[in-house]
Copies of this chain bind each other. A is one copy, B any other.
């Protein structure tokens, strides 16, 4: 049942995403008593011009 959505700044490799979903699924199963096949994970990549902290785009925050 747990449905997990993870918003990330774009740029991670498929290998990083493989490890991410594997480890997050294990963490969820271990702590809220479900089995892996019930855990769904959606990854949402964000461009640096689509994320802001403190009113400043990530794109501009790194200049």
Contacts and interface: CB of A to CB of B under 8 A. Distances in A.
Contacts of A60: 18
Given A2-B6, A8-B2, A14-B57, A28 B37 contact: no
Work out how many copies of this chain go into the complex.
Answer: 6
A1 to B, nearest CB: 5
A44 B10 CA distance: 13
Contacts of A20: 27-28, 31-32
Interface of A: 1-9, 12, 14, 16-28, 30-33, 36-46, 49-60
13 contacts: A2-B7, A3-B3, A4-B4, A7-B42, A14-B57, A17-B49, A17-B50, A20-B27, A20-B32, A37-B54, A39-B53, A41-B53, A43-B49
